């Protein structure tokens, strides 16, 4: 990116609606990392994951907005993540003003009523007491009305916000000999394409700038009428964005940690709950109550098989840990994973202070990395046939002594232990 080009973009933005963009950009001092220190440069590259640090008022938000408008005008796809819905809607207004309508917000459906009320209170606090006089472009993305209410009779209650059957309508059966009056297959509301509730979703299709909060990205899903694949906006943003800008990244990281459970017990004892035990119990109950008819769905079948594999693997690990005290002491306390165990094995076999170990350590690390990324050999990429065959035998064998001997011989060769 060229700094002079960004200042030219800031001047164009001031010509459309002045916010002193050019002066603010000229006052920003951007220093990028060199070999030994940070140096001020007129050109910089945005690649991979990068952090932008600065004190309050240093110009981080100014650079964010000018850079977003600049890239959008060049056809780039940008996702901007901010702290709250009010800022989301204000940025959408600004970006649309400067890019000719290329921005749209990602908002969850469940909080629209609450966000609309907050906006009304905010406008009332500015002196506009009459609610009917409140005007803000953000209200157009917070619509909660349902057109089906106009079709109800006077005796019917108006549909509440969460009662709108957006994708849960049913057609009347037209065949006179049909056993059911209504079809059992749900369909989308015919007014969906023009429904004000989904204005944001409609505009996101063509928008090159997506603006959202962390909760909006994680909780909101692309509506089924637009995309049959079940996908959250977070995954869609990662797939389609050339650049993702996260404002207040440390705060967003804390929010994502809370959403995705940074620490959860996978397997526990009788006195505590655990994720795997809950999943196994849920799977067993649901399959029993449904007479296993759910397995006709491919996704359910794959998920059930994955739970079964995890359960078998966990039982094998527990059997070894319970029976072997030396193994428990080697693993130590706390959690462990395939990666942490791999690091310890390589460290013990090829310690840092040993000589002539760099090449064999690198070869062993590459091999185990490939196996860890594709342990069952069913994914795209490199495959480790011998390790894959062994792990499948370990999980399914009924003759453990024979499998253990085969595994021991293979590991002696893999770690070059024959001379010890």
Residues 223 and 124 in one domain: yes
Q: Chain-wide mean pLDDT for the chain?
A: 87
Which of 37-51, 149-163, 198-212, 271-285 has the lowest average pLDDT? 149-163
Task: Give a yes or no: residue 400 inside a domain.
Answer: yes
Predicted confidence (pLDDT) at residue 72 exceeds the cutoff of 90 = yes
pLDDT of residue 283: 93
- Region of poorest pLDDT, from 7-11, 30-34, 109-113, 288-292: 109-113
Same domain, 292 and 403: yes
Residue 377: give the domain boundaries.
Answer: 275-414
pLDDT grade for 43, boundaries at 50, 70 and 90: confident
Summarize pLDDT for 95-109 with one digit per residue, the tens: 999 999 999 999 877
Please state the rounded mean pLDDT for residues 64-83.
95
Indicate the DSSP class of residue 416.
T
Do 304 and 169 fall within a single domain? Answer: no
Average the pLDDT over each of 111-120, 183-192, 202-211, 286-295 and give the range with the smallest value.
111-120
**pLDDT of 304-324, one tens digit each?**
999 999 999 999 998 998 899
Q: How far is CA 392 from the centre of its chain?
A: 31
**129 is a domain residue:** yes
What average pLDDT does this structure show over 180-185? 82
Q: Is residue 269 part of a domain?
A: no
Q: Which of 194, 213, 240 marks a domain boundary?
A: 240
Lowest average pLDDT, out of 1-15, 115-129, 249-263, 288-302, goes to 115-129
Q: Does 287 lie in the same domain as 168?
A: no
Higher pLDDT, 66 or 179: 66
In a domain, 246, yes or no: no
Q: What is the pLDDT at residue 333?
A: 66
Could you give the CA distance from residue 365 to residue 44 in angstroms, rounded to a whole number? 35
Both 279 and 165 in one domain: the answer is: no
**Residue 80 bridge partners (DSSP):** 211, 245
- 181 domain-assigned: yes
pLDDT band at 389 (very low <50, low <70, confident <90, very high): very high
Of residues 271 and 325, more confidently modeled: 325
Residues 120 and 234 in one domain: yes
Q: State the pLDDT confidence band at 410, using cuts at 50, 70 and 90.
A: very high
Q: How far is CA 34 from the centre of its chain?
A: 32
List, in order, residues 6 or more apart from 96 with CB less than 8 Å away: 102, 103
Please report which confidence band the pLDDT of residue 123 belongs to, taking 50, 70 and 90 as the band edges: confident
Considering the entire predicted model, what is its pTM? Answer: 0.67
Least confident of 36-40, 239-243, 314-318: 36-40
User: What pLDDT is stored for residue 302 in this prediction?
Assistant: 93
For residues 119 and 223, membership in a common domain is answered with yes
Task: Please list, in sequence order, all residues whose beta carbon lies within 8 angstroms of the beta carbon of residue 327, skipping any fewer than 6 positions away.
Answer: 320, 321
Report which secondary-structure segment, H or E, holds 315. helix 298-323
> Is residue 49 situated within a structural domain?
no
- Domain match, 107 and 164 both: yes
Give the pLDDT band (50/70/90) at residue 46.
Answer: confident
**Average of per-residue pLDDT across 9-35:** 91
Task: Tell me the mean pLDDT in the region 323-341.
Answer: 85
Task: Give 198-222 pLDDT, tens digit per residue.
Answer: 888 999 999 999 999 998 999 889 9
Query: Do 165 and 302 have their domain in common?
Result: no
Domain match, 313 and 202 both = no
CA distance 177 to 65: 62
Among 220, 240, 260, the domain-final residue is 240
Q: Which of 240, 264, 286 is the endpoint of a domain?
A: 240
Does 246 or 162 have the greater pLDDT score? 246
Q: Which residue has the higher pLDDT, 195 or 115?
A: 195
Residue with tokens 């021991």: 408
Is residue 11 one of the residues assigned to a domain?
A: no
| pLDDT confidence bin for 244, thresholds 50/70/90 | very high
CA distance 251 to 143: 29
Share of the chain above pLDDT 90, in %: 41
Residue 209, classed as helix, strand or coil, is strand
Query: What pLDDT, on the 0 to 100 scale, is given for residue 383?
Result: 86
Q: Do 304 and 402 fall into the same domain? A: yes
Residue 16 placed within a domain: no
pLDDT digits (tens, 9 = 90+) for 154-168: 666 777 777 888 888
**Tally of domains within the chain:** 2
pLDDT at 155: 67
Task: Please indicate, yes or no, whether residues 294 and 344 belong to a single structural domain of this protein.
Answer: yes
Q: What are the residue ranges of helices labelled H in 47-198?
A: 60-73, 85-99, 112-125
**Cβ-based burial of 226 (10 A; exposed 0-12, middle 13-18, buried ≥19):** middle
Lowest mean pLDDT among 46-50, 149-153, 284-288, 362-366: 149-153
């Amino acid at each position: 990116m060229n700094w002079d080009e960004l200042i030219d973009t800031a001047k164009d933005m001031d010509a459309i609606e002045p916010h002193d963009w050019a002066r603010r950009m000229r006052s920003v001092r951007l220093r990028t990392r060199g070999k030994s220190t940070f140096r001020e440069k007129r050109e910089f590259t945005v690649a991979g994951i990068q952090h932008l640090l600065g004190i309050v008022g240093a110009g981080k938000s100014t650079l964010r907005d000018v850079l977003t408008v600049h890239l959008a005008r060049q056809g780039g796809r940008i996702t901007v993540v901010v702290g709250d819905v009010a800022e989301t809607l204000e940025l959408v207004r600004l970006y649309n003003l400067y890019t000719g309508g290329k921005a749209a917000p990602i908002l969850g459906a469940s909080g629209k009523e609450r966000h609309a009320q907050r906006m009304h209170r905010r406008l009332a606090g500015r002196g506009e007491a009459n609610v009917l006089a409140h005007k803000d472009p953000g209200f157009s993305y917070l619509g909660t009305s349902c057109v089906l209410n106009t079709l109800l009779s006077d005796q019917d209650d108006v549909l509440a916000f969460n009662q709108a059957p957006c994708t849960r309508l049913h057609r009347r059966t037209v065949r006179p000999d049909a056993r059911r009056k209504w079809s059992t297959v749900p369909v989308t509301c015919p007014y969906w394409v023009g429904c004000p509730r989904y204005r944001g979703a409609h505009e996101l299709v063509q928008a090159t700038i997506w603006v959202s909060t962390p909760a909006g990205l994680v909780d909101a899903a692309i509506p089924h009428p637009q995309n049959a694949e079940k996908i959250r906006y977070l995954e869609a943003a990662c797939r389609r964005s050339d650049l993702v800008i996260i404002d207040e990244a440390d705060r967003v990281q804390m929010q994502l940690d809370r959403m995705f459970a940074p620490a959860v017990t996978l397997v526990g004892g009788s006195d505590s709950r655990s994720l795997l035990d809950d999943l196994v119990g849920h799977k067993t109950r649901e399959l029993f109550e449904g007479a296993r008819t759910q397995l006709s769905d491919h996704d359910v079948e794959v998920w059930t098989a994955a739970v079964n594999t995890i359960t078998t693997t966990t039982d094998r690990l527990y059997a070894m840990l319970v029976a072997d005290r030396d193994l428990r002491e080697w693993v130590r306390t706390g959690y462990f994973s395939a990666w942490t165990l791999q690091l310890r094995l390589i460290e013990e076999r090829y310690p840092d202070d040993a000589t002539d170990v760099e090449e064999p350590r690198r070869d062993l690390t590459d091999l185990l990395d490939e196996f860890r990324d594709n342990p069952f050999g069913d994914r795209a990429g490199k495959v480790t046939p011998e390790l894959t065959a062994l792990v499948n035998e370990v999980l399914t064998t009924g003759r453990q002594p024979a499998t253990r001997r085969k595994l021991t011989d293979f590991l002696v060769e893999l770690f070059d232990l024959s001379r010890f």
